[in-house]
Structure 1
Amino acid sequence: MHHATGLPDRHVRRLAALTALLMGLALLTGRALSPAYAATSTAITVDGASAGRTFDGVGAISGGGGNTRLLVDYPATQRNQILDYLFKPGYGAALQILKVEIGGDVNSTDGSEISFEHTKGDIDCDAGYEWWAMEQAKARNPGIKLFALAWGAPGWIGNGDFYTQDGIDYMIDWLGCAKQHGLSIDYIGGRNEKTYSAWFYQTLKSAMAANGYASTKLVGGDETVWNIATGMKNSTALYNAVDVAGAHYPCTYQSAMTTCSSSADAQSLGKPIWASENGSENAETGAAPVARAINRGYLDAKMSAYINWPMVASDYQNLYFHDQGLVTANQPWSGAYSVSRTAWSIAQTTQFTSPGWKYLDTASGYLGGDRANGSYVSYAAPDKSAWSTVYETLDATASQTVTLNVAGGLPGGALHVWSTDLSQPGGATPRMLRGSDLTAVGGTYSLTLEPGRVYTVTTTTGQGAGTTTPPARNRLVMPYSDSFAGYGTGQEARYFASMNGAFQAAPCTGGRSGQCLRQTAPMKPIIWWAPASNDIQPYTLMGDVGWSNYTVGSDVLLEKSGSSAEILGRVGTQSKFSTGLNAYHLRLSDTGSWALLKTGTTGTNSWNWTTLASGSVTAPGTGTWHKLALTFQDSTITAKIDGSTVGAVTDTSYGAGLAGLGTAGYYPVQYSNLSVTHESVPDLSGTYKIISAGSGKALTASNGGTSDGTPVVQKTDANSGSQQWKLAYTSAGYLTVTGVTSGKALDVNAASTWPGAGLQLGTSNGSVSQQWLIAPAGSGTYTIESRSNGYKADVYKAQTTDGTPIDQWFTNGSTNQRWKLVKVS
């Protein structure tokens, strides 16, 4: 994962989504946002005799931050459906490459993945879930290519230096585990986005050959520059070691990806060059950039593979990049998920090609010779038995025509046409659809291309688009408990996602039989990114972001002197790379000292620890069990140790969030008998004015409108009926928000998953798009979250003027997503 940019990420991400939204509006209105003009016709000869590089595939990354973690815990039916959408040929994204993280016990963007070798020689080939992900991918598509890369790594390696013999041995050990799982790894790299070591690549290549892995190809670089290509050009030894040169975000990080680039050294290597990580876009608004990048990466830069980060957004909503992936699946307890536009934009290439096919250079280019009109790339099977051409018209402003002729031994006959319409910024997520076949007239085929779409013309068959109906989103019901007794050694606990360290089931000690959860990473790892050194501590999170008033408790056992255990509550926003966390912590040390702590996210690489209360109890020492509990009741926070209250404070900073377990350092701590029990919650039924905490303006039906589709905006509070809303609970524990004047419900049109889709009035119909989770956000404010997609009600661009639309946006913790409820009756 790469995050270099000149602007704060939240602004870059919003800019990318807004750019996509404005382009969609331009397509709808016919008003161009740029001086692009559509070509009337482009003549293409699809010639099997054309020169062209070998196509290596389109794939995605499971890892670089725990983004697949919650998928493992989904109900079997929905889990299999999601896996089908990712890997099954002719069904969804049909990924051709799966790149996985070699877990390192340390945060690698939005989570920590477990290492298979916490200490040298102590190998557990079942640790973590990436083996499972690869097995599931292979079961659905035996031809999928597997690629592995390390982000962080255990601290024993080279005494903190990965590029050592220890690092070589570690990679060979990992390949040995893959072999035990029956997995043949096609590609392996060094470290993600770290300056490469020529010695490491050369030594690893020799070690792979010596240990029976000569068929595994070595990908070099995985940096955001093409320095590896220059190194290979200047060193015969490095050139012979590295099989593929890969770079990250060669089409510009979090952009429209209209232009891609590689170096002259890379293009002249005579070896494949890849966009070995790209994407990092919202699941919906990123579809158009990804489609551009797949085509233009080859046209502009001769890259023969595109690998999207991440594969799936199966992580909690408090995490920084939770909205990115081909499928969003962040509620394993409900089974709810959403297949994104990005999945279908990728399918337009993957369902119609295969790695090993050949690019046809003379049948690839820009429509009408103008990149503003869109692009096209053609591929052919090595034996010329089949071919496909993928077009994208994402920046076009008018329809245009292409004419096709077939030559060079490629088949003709009826040509099949599939397309995905990305021109509509809101509404339901489109799927790939089949159109009418093309028939040649006088040897020439003709196709009209509409703006804002991705098309594929092909001789192949077997394509399709899955049409499952996922369950609705639901609350994770309290009381919730887990004894941890039922897990096999090494497993992760259900719904728990580690942010740092490794929390795995292990046999209990201290006289307790059965299994417990244990922090198993024994030393500070080799970090991937660079948060403040004293803030690198293990913790794992679980629960519902809307949990507010509750008690979280767990038994804890300290194994070593000098150690401390923690429980966490009301865990909200986590900064990227775990460099800050909005949360409360209860910490107990082996000496008996305890503290009730608050952490935050303000500043750079700082958790902003604040001690709210502290004291001491009888020293628990090591090897004995003790009970920690935190109770949240509105603004009162109560800490208990072994059933006795040790502290109570008033703090309004955080009103809701996840629960968690942690330690104050990298050492073993055991946990047992987790419980989360419900405390009394204020009844929000009634009539309210809903006031933006950022602007002070009231949620208002635009112009006092009462009809379906009336936009909802913010306006200066005037106590009008169009600014008053009746809140009422549904049987599922969500709230409906109904205008007093209009009698209409606050609604998300078509349950859209598009960030930036405006909120509106709609006739009450009981749908999930009219149900809202209203949860305390601290300091007397609330968030209003759509049940249909988990997005928050948001003041567009945090503006403060009257008439500003209220849209839906992914969770970011900003004040324009916080609301005050002023009761009217």
Structure 2
Amino acid sequence: MNRRHSSVLAVLGLLLGGLAVLSPSAQAATSTSITVDGSQSGRVFDGVGAISGGGGNTRLLIDYPEPQRSQLLDYLFKPGYGASLQVLKIEIGGDTNSTDGAEASHEHTQGAVDCGQGYEWWLAEQAKARNPGIKLYGLAWGAPGWVNPTANSFYTTNAITYLMDWLGCAKQHGLGIDYLGGWNERYNGGDTTAMTWYENLKSALGRNGFASTKVVAADNNWSTADDMGKNPAFKAAVDVVGVHYPCGYNSTFTHCGTIGTAQALGTPLWSSEGGSLDTSTGAGPVARAINRDYIDARMTGYLNWPIIGAVYPNLYYSSDGMSVANQPWSGHYDIGRTTWVTAQTTQFTQPGWHYIDTASNYLSGGGSFVTLKSTNNSDYSTVVETMDATAAQTADVTVSGGLSGGVVHVWATNVNSTNPSDWFVRQNDITPSGGHYSVTLQPGYVYTFSTTTPAGAKGTATSPATARLSLPYNDNFETAAASTSPKYFSDMNGAFASTACAAGRSGRCVQQMALTQPVHWTDEANKAPYTIMGDAAWTDYTVSVDAMVPQPGTVEVLGRVMRQSQNNNGLDAYHLKVSDTGAWSIVRTDQSWQTVTLKQGTATPLGTNKWHTVALTMDGTQLTARIDGVAVGTATDAVLPNGQAGIGVGGYQTAQFDNFAITGGTTPLSPVGPVISGLSGKCLNAGATRLVNITENGNPAQLGSCTGQASQSWTSANGALTHEGLCLDVTGGGTANGTKVELWECNGGANQQWQPQSDGTLKGTQSGRCLDDPNATTTDGTQLVIWDCNGGANQKWALPK
């Protein structure tokens, strides 16, 4: 192409949102020629979507007030508004933990089908209402115990019956399921039992009137494709090869390779789970994956896990998804950059379009591009990402093969910017000359060049400010919640649902519905059912509930629930456990499910089918157990300073609960908010040690520009500063000047205690030294330390209030 003769060069030196139209004398150093030829071949595009499930990640969304709930749904599903998702994958709940929570089954006991359980049907209905063309995909992580009473495996005839019953529920809800998987991430290469199971599943779909539902296998790795190449019957049963994290897990998603046998199958290949990244810091890797899955592996579908971080912030993956919504009582939410890098593809394409292979490749200066053409064989969209670029570069585009030579519309997202006004911004249109145009691409952007325009206007709804869930809090469960789960409660194992009260009590109660230990997906040491709720800022309070056990067993109340480790492999919390025999104990658990018994004893037996009130009071370091209003024992412990509340059952019994209440203690509720430097006005920030912005042990305490992001939310409680269930900690209990400060599991140590001083400094109890911004630095990312207290501005901090 002779760029000197392009009419687009009439705009000289134009720079909008990182896009520059080139002048003859102002060319970027690196150039890539892109030929968009509509006559060239490519695979059929199946869509970009996200996953609700694999851990209750959507749980709190249904409890959001209006209009915020509808706004969040619009940002997810409404065409032309936000992420505009094209595929929704939902968990087939199994009453068992599947990452950050448990989702309720439609069939707790064999043959007793209840199509009203959970919230996934509601979500699918909301998605369909906004986008009738969205594709639905179901997958199980676990299942009720009756599916396999002898082994922890889903590959049984009962499981196929279970799935057919679930599809029947979908039909009751007026929903057609386009795709169906087997058992999430539990297929191993050469597993003949599993291969036969998929063949039987395919046959069952046809027999039961669901022949249009396509089978996805096996939601794990490339061994599925290997086995399909060797086993014709297995290959015939599988409609889509679903691979998880083909670009790597918790990585930058730079390379997305595949084995040759997969591409030779002729079967659609999907990244049926990708992501697991923070809603904003993970946007760059997601932008890479959406393009590079196809360039490297010819994968035609990408599903991000999870769809939304509508889980409590003390859970492990709480900041992942398209957006974060963890305060249903305030209505506050945050729309992340991942929403907008997704929109750069979804708002300009549709499933059924075709990739153009010759117009899908890597940029010479870093980054990649893919091109898709419409089913009308005229319109096209080219999506470009420059995540790996270090300098501006040129794209020199030639359009041919019957595709439109008309105006090219341009949108851009600056992925490196934290300013929402830089995300998904329309640029000036380009008018090609003779089928040619050239542009300059800036590093760290996603661009879309398309002859189409979005179906609607970009979403502009904003959320209210954050707020605490005030005390006292009471729920007698008589008012129907938005789902079968009680309002604000998030199940971690088992299934807690509203039902008629038993044992002579009228009205509505909450019952644990799972009768036997489920076929489980996670491997936590403690699989007992429990559910949590509330505000992590709660410090001193009493949690009480009326409880009834119909069989011999134990009920419990939980308090100061702090951090849960990955996949429920431990929980920092206090528990009051009470047995039908009268045996009781106050215990503390940690993130490895190690249990410390703080106090125990025996009271009058509760018996079965009788109602009793169980309460745990936490007042500073004093913990008091009460049964039916009588104090039966007191313990002293200083490890856990604040946290949520909950209820639980010692095993898979159908205990009932009523009149749940939380009342304030002797000290006021601690505030949640930023800790601000007196020197720079910047904020105490919980940094990340990895690409994924997961709060975990060892994350550094840093200085950062105050943006209101979740990593700057702190609670001051009982001498500790906590963030998402972890404590501000002097590394290794060090006392020397310059010792780093980080986040760590709360342990009650003096190195996690901070004393606010009258001059505004924060003095460490163990070291006697102050939280310090070294060398009075004002640079974002500066590692904070302890230093001799000197009253300097770099040691002064304004606590949240």
Bucket of the pairwise TM-score, normalised by the shorter protein: 0.7 to 0.9
1 CA distance for matches of 2:669 and 2:238?
63
Equivalent in 505, 519, 529 of residue 498 of structure 2 = 505
Q: Equivalents in 2 of 1:88, 1:38: separation in Å?
A: 38
Change (3 A) 1:51 1:769: closer
The question of whether the paired residues in 2 share the 8 Å contact of 1:175 and 1:185 is answered with yes
Alignment of 1:273-312 (within 5 A): 273-312=269-308
Pairing partner for 2:202 from 205, 230, 244: 205
CA contact 2:56–2:311 (8 Å) conserved in 1:
yes
Q: Does 1:346 align with 2:342?
A: yes
Distance in 2, Cα, partners of 1:444 & 1:804: 59
**1:444 has 2:436 as partner:** yes
Relative to structure 1, the CA distance from residue 235 to residue 429 in structure 2 (aligned partners, 3 Å threshold; closer, same or farther) is farther
Distance between the aligned counterparts of 1:443 and 1:768, measured in 2?
45
Secondary structure at the aligned position of 1:284 is classed as coil
Structure 1's 346 and 795: CA in aligned 2 closer, same or farther, altered over 3 A? Answer: farther
User: In the alignment, does 2:38 pair up with 1:48?
Assistant: yes
1:195-234 → structure 2 map (5 Å cutoff): 195=187, 197-223=194-220, 225-234=221-230
**2:180 matches 1:177:** no
* CA distance 1:805–1:431, shift in 2 (3 Å): farther
Counterpart position of 1:774: 715
TM-score when scaled to structure 2? 0.84
Residue 553, structure 1, aligned to residue 544, structure 2: yes
Change (3 A) 1:582 1:504: same
- CA distance in 2 between partners of 1:300 and 1:490 (Å): 42
Query: How far apart in 2 are the matches of 1:591 and 1:797?
Result: 43
CA distances 1:518-547 after superposition (whole Å, capped 9, x unpaired): 001000000102222xx1100000010111
Which residue pairs with 1:106 in the alignment? 96
Deviation for aligned residue 1:404: 1.4
Inter-CA distance 665–211: structure 2 relative to 1 (3 Å threshold) = same
> Residues 387 and 165 from structure 1, CA distance in 2 versus in 1: closer, same or farther, beyond 3 angstroms?
same
CA distance in 2, matches of 1:757, 1:113: 34
Which residue among 68, 74, 82 is the counterpart of 1:92?
82
Looking at structure 2, the residues matched to 358 and 677 of structure 1 have their Cα atoms a distance apart, in angstroms, of 59
CA shift, 1:468, in A, is 1.5
Query: Quick one: which amino acid aligns to residue 755 of structure 2?
Result: L
Cα distance change on mapping 1:39 and 1:212 into 2, 3 Å:
farther
1:60 corresponding residue in structure 2:
50
Name the SS for the 2:599 alignment partner. Answer: strand
Q: Distance in 2 between matches of 1:275 and 1:430?
A: 28
Residue 622 (structure 2) pairs with residue 647 (structure 1): no
Distance 1:346 1:488 in 2: 32
Alignment: residue pair count: 716
Question: CA–CA distance in 2 between the matches of 1:682 and 1:803?
Answer: 34
**C-alpha distance in 2, partners of 1:269/1:664?**
49
Counterpart mapping for 1:368-387 below 5 A: 368=364, 373-387=366-380
For 1:805 and 1:191, the matched residues in 2 are separated by 44
Counterpart-to-counterpart distance in 2, 1:365 and 1:521: 50
How far off is 1:120 after superposition?
0.4
Q: Is the 8 A contact 2:481 2:487 kept in 1?
A: no
Structure 1 distance, partners of 2:444, 2:734, is 29
1:271-670 to 2 correspondence within 5 Å?
A: 271-368=267-364, 373-424=366-417, 426=418, 430-462=422-454, 464-487=457-480, 491-532=484-525, 535-561=526-552, 563-602=553-592, 607-670=593-656
**Is 1:759 matched up with 2:700?**
no
Kindly tell me: are residues 180 and 770 of structure 1, through their superposed partners in 2, closer, same or farther at Cα, counting changes over 3 Å? closer
User: What SS is found at the alignment partner of 1:69?
Assistant: coil
Preserved contact between residue 736 and residue 746 of structure 1 (Cα < 8 Å): no
Query: How far off is 1:781 after superposition?
Result: 2.4
Q: How far apart in 2 are the matches of 1:474 and 1:134? A: 29
Moved more, 136-145 or 791-800: 791-800
State the AA in 2 paired with 1:547: W
Shift of 1:793: 7.6
Percent identity (aligned): 50
Q: What per-residue deviation string (whole Å, max 9, x for no partner) do you get for residues 327-355 of structure 1?
A: 10000001000010111111111111111
Residues in 2 aligned to 1:94 and 1:799: alpha-carbon distance in whole angstroms:
50
Q: Do the aligned partners of 2:248 and 2:256 also contact (CA within 8 Å) in 1?
A: yes
**Residue 677 of structure 1: aligned partner:** 663
| Distance (Å, rounded) in 1 between the aligned partners of 2:669 and 2:659 | 30
Q: Secondary structure at the match of 2:127?
A: helix
Any idea what SS the aligned residue of 1:296 has? helix
**1:383 Cα deviation from its structure 2 partner:** 2.4
Which SS does the other structure have where 1:76 is aligned?
Answer: coil
Q: Cα 1:772–1:353, aligned 2, differ >3 Å: closer, same or farther?
A: closer
Quick one: structure 1 residues 679 and 257, their matched pair in 2 at CA, closer, same or farther if it must change by over 3 Å?
same
- Measure the CA separation in 2 of the matches of 1:754 and 1:303: 24
Which moves more between the two structures, 753-762 or 194-203?
753-762
Residue segments in structure 1 that go unaligned for 5+ positions in a row? 1-27, 29-36, 685-732
Of the three residues 236, 239, 245, the one matched with 1:243 is 239
Q: AA paired with 1:67?
A: N
The letter of the residue matching 1:404 is: V
In 2, are the aligned partners of 1:39 and 1:367 still within 8 Å (CA)?
no
Structure 1 residue 584 displacement after superposition: 0.8
CA contact (8 A) 1:40 1:401 kept: yes
What amino acid is the match of 2:202? K
Q: 1:179 to 1:336 in 2, by over 3 A?
A: same
1:783 and 2:734 correspond: no
**Rounded Cα–Cα distance in structure 2 between residues aligned with 1:284 and 1:795:** 28
Deviations 1:31-87 (A, max 9, x none): xxxxxx986221212111111001111110000000000001000210100010011
Spell out, residue by residue over 1:121-146, the C-alpha distance to the aligned partner (whole angstroms, 9 max, x if none).
00000101000111011011111110
CA positional deviation for 1:512: 1.2
1:297 and 1:770, CA in 2 relative to 1: closer, same or farther beyond 3 A?
A: closer
- 3-state DSSP class of the match of 1:513? coil
Bigger shift: 152-161 or 125-134?
152-161
Note the alpha carbon deviations across 1:94-152, whole angstroms, 9 max, x for none.
11110010000000001000000001000000101000111011011111110000001
State how far apart, in whole Å, the 2-side matches of 1:373 and 1:38 are: 13
Is 1:189–2:181 an aligned residue pair? yes
Distance 2:30 2:709 in 1: 44
2 CA distance for matches of 1:289 and 1:515?
47
Give secondary structure in 2 for the equivalent of 1:156.
Answer: helix
Which amino acid in 2 is paired with 1:138? K
SS across alignment from 1:285? coil
Amino acid at match of 1:103: G
Task: Decide whether aligned partners of structure 1 residues 99 and 767 sit closer, same or farther in structure 2, where only a CA change above 3 A counts.
Answer: closer
CA 1:267–1:402 in 2, change beyond 3 Å: closer, same or farther?
same
Asked if the contact 1:280–1:309 (Cα under 8 Å) also holds between the matched residues in 2, the reply is yes
Q: Distance in 2 between matches of 1:281 and 1:784?
A: 19
- Determine helix, strand or coil for the equivalent of 1:313: coil
1:6 maps to which residue? none
State the Cα distance separating 1:577 from its structure 2 match.
1.4
Distance 2:597 2:726 in 1: 33
Q: Residue 38 of structure 1 contacts residue 373 of structure 1 at CA under 8 Å; is this kept in 2? A: no
Question: SS state of the match for residue 138, structure 1?
Answer: helix
| Cα displacement (A) at 1:413 | 1.0
Contact 2:28–2:394, Cα closer than 8 Å, also in 1: no
Q: Contact 1:783–1:817 (CA<8 Å) still a contact in 2?
A: no
Alpha-carbon deviations, 1:296-337, whole Å to 9, x = none?
111111111111100000001111111111010000001000
Q: Residue 234 of structure 2 aligns to which amino acid in structure 1? A: L
